[in-house]
Structure formats: C-alpha cells, structure tokens
C-alpha cells in the first residue's frame, strides 16, 4: 500500500480508502440488504493489506452502514484505521439534533472518538441549516474537546460556492470532492482542488469511477479501449482512472465504494504499485480522448449517488437513468438494446419514469443538478415507443 499525508499534522493515510456506501448486498443495490459476512471479509482484508481510512455515513445502506462497520472493526481493527463519517445536514431541525446524531453514530460505530468528521453534502440548499444551527462552531468545539480529530465537509455544488464555503472558516482540515477524469470540471472540479490545496486543506476524492461507470466503459469509450488493445497497449479502465487521480499529488485519499472481493483486490493491486501515482504522456493522451468521447456519449450524467431517493411517488430515479443511458449508448453502437426495454417494462409501475408527478423534490437535492423531470418525460417516450 502507498501512503500520503492528511490533515495539518500530516497523518499517514493509505491512498486507497474503503468507501462503505456500496457494500455487497443481496439486492445488488445500495440498500439495507448488506451481506455482512462478505463485507467483513472485504473490509478486514483491506485493512490487513494496509488500508487505514474507512468512510461511512449515517444514511448509507438505509442507515445500516455505520453499525455494520462498527461490528466489523471489533477485534482490534478499530485501532488500525481512521473512521470518517458525516452529519446529515438535511436531518438537522434544531440545535440538539447534531449532538443526538453524533452520539448515535458513536454508539453505532462503537467508538468514543470519530477521527474524521464531515458536514455531509454541503450545497447551497443546506447553507441556511448550517448557519441557523451554528454547525461550523459546533464542529470546532467537537474538535477542541477531542471528540473528533479532523473537521471538514463533503461538497456537491458549484466552484463559486465552494470558494465561499472554504472562505467561511479558517479551521477546515479537509474537504471531500467528487472527481474523476470525466468530471474534471463538474462541481468544484480541478479549480476547486487548486483552491483547497492553496488554502491548506487536505483533499479526499469520492466517485473516482463515477459510480462504476468508468470501470465498465460503454459505447465509443469501450471501442477506444479495444482499439488500443489491437495496437498493443493494454490499458485497463480502473487502473487508468485511479492512477489519473493519484497522478495529482495534492490529493490524499481516494475512496472507492467496493462491492466485491474482486474489485477490492484489483484496487489494492493498483494502490500498492510503485508507479501508482504516475501516468505517462501516452496514457494522458488516451485519457484526453476518453474525456472527449464521454462528453459526447452518455446523455444523462447520473452518478447513482441516490441522494434523490426515495422519491415520494416511488420512482427509482437512478435505475431509470441507468436503463436509458444503456439503451442510448447501445442503440448508438447499433447493438441490440431490447434488454433495457425489457428491464424497464418489468419494473413495478410506481418505479417507472411514467409515475413521476413532476413535484421537483429530487431536482432540489441532485448534486449534479440534473433536470430530472424533463429526463423522465424523455425516458417515458423512449421506452413506450
Ligand atoms: S419530480 Fe418525479 S422523480 Fe422527482 S421526486 Fe417528484 S415524482 Fe419523484
Ligand atoms: S439523479 Fe442526481 S441525485 Fe439521483 S442518483 Fe442521479 S446524480 Fe444522484
């Protein structure tokens, strides 16, 4: 395992962090059906191989992730890692809620002390909650009292707002950003990383594979990989995507939400290589091609974060988008796209795009600011035609 530094005291952290929002489940979704035995095998294997940063949150896996992680970290594993978890801003209704939630998290994680604590998913819509409840001051005090070691935030909004958030408080230790080679200018993006680094914040990266999309590239991206293989260049999607991030030395930990043992082993291999943090010129050029192709390919840039869920009317928003994206790319590639229509038709009616009543609730929450209601109309006509 390779290591970098984190926080103002330059704590040694593994370049690969274990994200606990996509643990193995019986349903195959990010719901509460976690296969605990397998999650335990994977997380402990990761720690044994040198991972020392475990990232969870109150809301992951229908609020089960923290207690599952707490159980897995028994038997001496807790002491080997930094635990990162997050305060769900949308659940803060009054000044006592932050303390209550924090205590629940310590209980579930079976620890008095949370190493890395984040205000979860800062975006403009939640800024008044932070201010009204003095949550930055609350975090400062938690750090002062030693209940947390590092205080920061995860972020899903524009670069301009990101600068405002950083400038609001000199005491931020770190920020957590969505970043990968097809999202270089999305949200805070590369500019945000430069700004955070200049202000002395450590930077944690999430969604390095865009919810798995970059691990299994489709359409023209897949064709590019194939073509390069014919030319004798054996580029691997996950390897390139992770090393593209690690090629940027100001980034500390890259969180990967691993769902299978195979994914874990693959990531461990890459994170342990001597050249893990270097892309050569040819590889950079190849990534630039992929970026161009991607921008022109998937019509809906949904990361499957599921912040929009549950929809009050039961629509499975990310699943509809996934089916439509697959349908779109396969049709473009002149491949048989019927499977997507079949899958759409086999969904319960309330989960389909057709059941969207256009209330707009999801659009207020979506970090990607997707016009979800318009997309639902498009999906409905695509699959009903
Ligand atoms: S706009 Fe449609 S998909 Fe979004 S929350 Fe409302 S009903 Fe659900
Ligand atoms: S629609 Fe937006 S909020 Fe919902 S899963 Fe996709 S990116 Fe996340």
- 220 located within any domain: yes
Same domain as 331, residue 289: no
Find out whether the beta carbon of 153 lies less than 6 Å from any atom of ligand 2: no
Give the nearest ligand 1 atom to 358 CA: 1
The answer to whether 114 and 70 are in contact (CB under 8 A) is: no
Does the pLDDT value for residue 295 go beyond 90?
A: no
Answer with the one of 294, 325, 360 that is the final residue of a domain.
Answer: 294
User: Do 344 and 256 share a domain, yes or no?
Assistant: no
Going from the C-alpha of 4 to that of each of 108, 187, 250, 362, 381, the distances in angstroms are 29, 24, 9, 37, 49
List the domain range (segments joined by +) for residue 361. Answer: 317-384
CA of 358 to the centre of ligand 1 (A): 5
Mean of pLDDT over the chain:
92
Exposed, middle or buried, 147 (CB in 10 Å: 0-12/13-18/19+)? middle
End-to-end CA distance of the chain: 51
Domain final residue pick, 261, 294, 327: 294
Give residue 330's pLDDT band: very low, low, confident or very high (50, 70, 90): low
Task: Give the pLDDT confidence of 62-88 residue by residue, as tens digits.
Answer: 999 999 999 999 999 999 999 999 999
Would you state the pLDDT for residue 178?
87
- Shortest CA distance to 258 belongs to which of 45, 8, 89? 45
Decide: 187 in ligand 2 pocket, CB within 6 A. Answer: no
CATH value at residue 99: 3.20.20.100
pLDDT (mean) for 131-144:
98
319 lines ligand 2 (CB under 6 A): no
DSSP-derived secondary structure for 203-223? EEEE-TTTTTTTTS--HHHHH
CA–CA distance, 276 with 239 (Å, rounded to integer): 9
User: Is it the case that residue 182 has pLDDT exceeding 90?
Assistant: no
pLDDT of residue 93: 94
Report residue 337's pLDDT band, with 50, 70 and 90 as the boundaries: low
**pLDDT tier, 362 (very low <50, low <70, confident <90, very high otherwise):** very high
Of residues 323 and 296, more confidently modeled: 323
Last residue in a domain, options 294, 328, 350: 294
Q: Averaged over 186-211, what is the pLDDT?
A: 91
**What is the rounded distance in angstroms from the CA atom of residue 163 to the CA atom of residue 202?**
15
300 Cβ inside 6 Å of ligand 2: no
Q: Let me know: does 252 contact 6? Beta carbons within 8 Å.
A: yes
How many independent structural domains does the chain possess?
2
pLDDT at position 385 is 58
Give the pLDDT confidence of 230-265 residue by residue, as tens digits: 989 999 999 999 999 999 999 999 999 999 999 999
Interatomic CA distance for residues 213 and 46, integer angstroms: 23
Retrieve residue 241's tokens: 């995507």
Residue 309 lies in a domain: no
340 and 289 within one domain? no
Q: Which residues of 267-297 are buried (b: 16+ CB within 10 A; e: fewer)?
A: bbebbeeeebbebeeebeebbeebbebbeeb
- Calculate how far, in angstroms, residue 355's C-alpha sits from the geometric centre of ligand 1: 8
Q: Which ligand is nearest to the CA of 316?
A: 1
What is the whole-number distance in angstroms between the Cα of residue 355 and the centre of ligand 2?
Answer: 17
């Amino acid at each position: 395992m390779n290591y970098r530094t984190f926080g103002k005291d330059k704590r040694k952290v593994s370049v690969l962090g274990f994200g606990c929002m996509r643990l193995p489940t019986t349903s195959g979704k990010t719901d509460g059906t976690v296969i605990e035995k397998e999650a335990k095998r994977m997380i402990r294997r990761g720690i044994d191989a040198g991972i020392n940063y475990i990232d969870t949150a109150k809301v992951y896996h229908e609020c089960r992730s923290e207690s599952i992680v707490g159980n897995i970290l028994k038997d001496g594993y807790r002491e080997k890692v930094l635990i990162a978890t997050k305060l769900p801003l949308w659940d803060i209704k009054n000044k006592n809620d932050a303390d209550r939630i924090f205590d629940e998290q310590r209980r579930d994680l079976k620890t008095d002390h949370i190493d890395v604590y984040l205000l979860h998913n800062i975006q403009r819509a939640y800024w008044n909650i932070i201010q009204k409840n003095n949550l930055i001051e609350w975090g400062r005090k938690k750090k002062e009292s030693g209940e947390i070691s590092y205080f920061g935030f995860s972020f899903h909004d524009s670069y301009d707002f990101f600068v405002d958030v950083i400038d609001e408080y000199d005491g931020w230790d770190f920020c957590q950003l969505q970043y990968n080679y097809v999202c270089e200018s999305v949200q805070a993006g590369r500019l945000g990383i430069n700004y955070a680094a200049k202000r002395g914040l450590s930077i944690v990266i999430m969604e390095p594979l865009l919810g798995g999309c970059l691990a299994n590239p489709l359409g023209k991206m897949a064709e590019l990989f194939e073509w390069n293989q014919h030319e004798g260049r054996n580029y691997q999607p996950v390897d390139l995507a992770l090393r593209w991030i690690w090629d940027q030395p100001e980034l500390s930990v890259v969180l990967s939400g691993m769902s299978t043992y195979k994914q874990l082993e693959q990531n461990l291999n890459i994170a342990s290589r001597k050249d893990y943090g270097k892309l050569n010129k040819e590889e950079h050029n190849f990534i630039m091609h992929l970026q161009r192709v991607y921008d022109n390919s998937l019509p809906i840039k949904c990361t499957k974060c599921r912040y929009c869920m549950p929809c009050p009317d039961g629509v499975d928003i990310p699943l509809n988008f996934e089916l439509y994206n697959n349908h779109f790319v396969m049709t473009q590639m002149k491949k048989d796209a019927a499977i997507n229509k079949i899958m759409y038709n086999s969904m319960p009616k309330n989960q389909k795009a057709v059941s969207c009543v256009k209330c707009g609730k999801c659009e207020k929450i979506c970090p990607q600011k997707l016009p979800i209601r318009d997309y639902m109309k498009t999906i409905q006509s695509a699959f009903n035609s």
